[in-house]
A and B are shown apart, each in its own frame.
Chain A
Amino acid sequence: MSVMTYREALNLALREEMRRDPRVFLIGEEIGLYDGAYKVTQGLLKEFGERRVVDTPICESGFTGVAVGAAMLGLRPVVEMMTFNFAILALDQIVNSAAKLYYMSGGQYNVPMVIRGPGGPAHQLAAQHSQSMEVYFYHVPGLKVVRPSTPRDAKGLLKSAIRDDNPVIFIESETLYGIKGEVPDDPEFTIPLGKAEIRREGTDVTVFAYMGMMYRALEVAEELAKEGISCEVVDPRTLRPMDNETMIGSVRKTHRAVVVEAGAGFAGMGSEISAFVTENAFDDLDAPVERVTGANAPMPYAKNLEQAKTPSKEKIMAAIRRVCGA
């Protein structure tokens, strides 16, 4: 075990996978000479050279398409989106090419690639730079979607994503790059995609949350424990496919569920998770599933409005109390 930042854990995962598999290469804006806009790829150009760390001009659709084409011939590209907001420009290649080639070709061409980068709200980056992009992708059959909340998960899940034979959307967070945690040193350590994690055990209510909201949910759980409400905090980690065993298993135990998400609520992640819970554990539920979501608005720039946009601790607490009838 080593203690490292989330950023370092990602860097290590990339490094180890590139050492292990010569087919893995990195492509994106400012990832080489500049060492990454957020320094996730720091030092990789130096170790692996320009053949495997490919700096591109600003042309998201173009370089994502290049990665898909290269994957069709058996390479394993890892595309960096400087931020995931720019993946919207590459949506056609992701949705129409990467996600569908395996199916459309009747299983002849699979697309083993990862598209990674930070997403979600950060610090006053305003409407075009703060979007919770996972919802744009999780709808699409053929894509897997990962949101890793801890340094350990960042490493283990990124390695699995790179080894996966399908296109994987891997969305990090600007606000988590600096957090520290224990990370296994073993280069064979991976975390399988599709496995949720129980972050805190509890008996009264299951709170589903990931990324920044997961940490907020843990704080809330701590405070509610003082009131005698025992929260189980479950981090889905992979949003598609979802982990039936852990997520539904938890609800079967607690009989109540609250979903927290930073993004806008309408057709959001919470919609899907609550449907998933309701469909799979309806008979076990003692109360309707509640969603606590970001406001249904673009992200404003002003600091006070930005704060009001994402779910506060108070809102999460209120929802939990309601569900628990407390």
Chain B
Amino acid sequence: MAQTKTLTPATKIDAELARRLLSQMLLIRRFEERAAEMYALGKIGGFLHLYIGEEAVGVGATSVLRPDDYVISAYREHGHCLAKGSDPRRMMAELFGRRDGLSKGKGGSMHLFDKSKNFLGGHAIVGAHLPLAAGAAFAIKYQGGDQVVLCYFGDGAVPQGEFHESMNLASLWKLPVVYVCENNRYAMGTAIHRALAQTEIWRYAETYGMAGEAVDGMDVLAVRDVVGRAVERCRREQAPTLIEARTYRFRGHSMRDPSAAVYRTKEEVEREKERDPIRLFRERCLKDGTLTEAEVRTIEKEMNDLVDEAVAFADASPEPPLEWLTAEVYKE
């Protein structure tokens, strides 16, 4: 059944697609680099979890979706939200806790929601959104739709009961959901072999009678391929899939955790950075002539500009009015 897939097809990729994938990965990278700066300046508070190093998963996977498909994620969700098409300006405003933020400043970095993009949110209790994904898929089926739900979660959610309950329900009820585990090998400071009796996460699919596959999460095209097939199967047969995307977070768990703390070595982090998904993809596109140096530079500049605009927008947005504190507790 399943096996690790690293796909680097010899054929030249479509230039338009390459531009889109590279743009999105760069947008996410810049967005988060700037967010880290803003955190250091005190413009962003609370917890800030960066996705840097993992961009190929979110971009590759989301790229196969239709706009009316759904995405749901945990608290490391800036990349997923951007890939789903949310406005970086309103996202940055949310990180700043301002009134023009996606959640009006009430949610913050961990709780980005964008109904207009079918982005079902960032959820900060590990494992809690997996049943929600199954529930969204349940609703799609109930309503006779052909959309799918893509659910991102970390390796740290796998020991949690809600993971297992969700896998079972999704498979038992044939729900149109694709679970994408972003296995970056650590849950905070806990290496995966200290948390899981079975560290090959895709293998849990077998137990629950669903399709499962592992993929190189540093290869945006490989992710696209594997998730693409899963989404197609999902739409056709309403059969769920569990995908394990093997990736790595280059930064600390959050801004409060150093990138190479006690639980991993500097050497390991440096070694993994050699497989920077953005660099790999850029080099590949340049090498096979899909994109030119000039085109890549243009993309970089465009993405930088977008993020500059986002920061300026967030900075200019006012604080939420105090009446909003007790508004929206209940729907009137």
| Residues of A participating in the B interface, judged by any CB pair closer than 8 Å | 29-30, 33-35, 37, 55, 57-59, 61-62, 85-86, 88-89, 123-129, 295-298, 300-305, 308-309
Contacts and interface: CB of A to CB of B under 8 A. Distances in A.
Contact of A37 (B124, B160, B188): B188
Given A86-B125, A126-B124, A296-B329, A30 B189 contact: yes
Contact of A301 (B97, B123, B157, B194): B97
A35 B324 CA distance: 39
Given A58-B156, A61-B161, A305 B325 contact: yes
B325 A309 contact: yes
B320 A302 contact: yes
Nearest to B161: A61
B140 to A, nearest CB: 26
Interface residues of B, number: 39
**Residue with the greatest number of chain A CB neighbours at <10 A, chosen from B123, B188, B263:** B188
Given A301-B97, A302-B105, A126 B159 contact: no
Q: Which 8 A-B pairs have the closest CB atoms?
A: A301-B108, A57-B159, A124-B45, A302-B97, A34-B189, A124-B46, A57-B195, A302-B105
A127 B111 contact: yes
Nearest to B191: A33
B298 interface: no
A302 B98 contact: yes
B73 to A, nearest CB: 14
A88 B128 CA distance: 11
Interface of B: 45-47, 97-98, 103, 105-108, 110-111, 123-127, 156-157, 159-161, 187-190, 194-196, 261-263, 319-320, 322, 324-326, 329
A30 B156 CA distance: 12
Contacts of A88: 125
Nearest to B95: A301
Nearest to A300: B106
Contacts of A123: 45-46
A124 B187 contact: no
16 contacts: A29-B190, A34-B189, A34-B262, A55-B194, A58-B127, A58-B159, A123-B45, A123-B46, A125-B46, A126-B110, A128-B111, A301-B105, A301-B108, A304-B97, A304-B320, A305-B325
A125 B161 contact: no
Nearest to A304: B319
A89 B130 CA distance: 14
Contacts of B188: 29-30, 34, 37
A7 to B, nearest CB: 15
A126 B46 contact: yes
Given A33-B190, A302-B108, 9 more contacts: A33-B189, A57-B187, A57-B194, A58-B126, A58-B157, A89-B160, A296-B326, A297-B325, A300-B325
Contacts of B103: 301
Contact of A305 (B47, B125, B324, B329): B324
A125 B47 contact: yes
Given A37-B188, A59-B159, A305-B325, A300 B105 contact: yes
Nearest to B329: A297
**Residue with the greatest number of chain B CB neighbours at <10 A, chosen from A125, A128, A300:** A300
A59 B161 contact: yes
Nearest to A85: B125
**Residue with the greatest number of chain B CB neighbours at <10 A, chosen from A29, A126, A309:** A126
Given A123-B45, A305-B106, A305-B320, A58 B187 contact: yes
A232 to B, nearest CB: 31
A125 B47 CA distance: 6
Nearest to A264: B329
Contacts of B108: 124, 126, 301-302
Contacts of B329: 296-298
A86 B106 CA distance: 21
**Residue with the greatest number of chain B CB neighbours at <10 A, chosen from A58, A62, A125, A303:** A58
A61 B124 CA distance: 17
A128 B109 CA distance: 12
Contacts of A304: 97, 319-320, 322
A33 to B, nearest CB: 6
